Amino acid sequence: MAGTNPFGKYFVVGEQPMNLLQRYINAVRQYLPEALRDDVGRELKANIEDQSEAAAAV
């Protein structure tokens, strides 16, 4: 099927990396207990951003 997106709602062609990161974090958070969502979400975002910056510096 020409022109279809095999990744559905999880990936939009041309999407900005930070928007994709936030969507990933939101998807992870929905599977966590409510009491942990904010802390784990912030920690996950910080870890991914740190790894991204380190990879870019190489």
Would you tell me the crossing angle of helices 17-29 and 34-57 to the nearest 10 degrees? 150
- pTM for this entry: 0.67
Supply the pLDDT for residue 3.
Answer: 54
Supply the pLDDT for residue 1.
Answer: 46
Supply the pLDDT for residue 38.
Answer: 97
Express each pLDDT in 3-52 by its tens digit: 554 555 555 556 676 788 898 999 999 999 999 999 999 999 999 989 98
Task: Give the containing element (helix H, strand E) for 49.
Answer: helix 34-57
Which amino acid, residue 1? M
The CB density around residue 26, as the number of other CB atoms within 10 Å, is 11
CB 6 within 8 A of CB 14: no
Enter the tokens of residue 33.
Answer: 């207990």
pLDDT at residue 57 is higher than 70 = yes
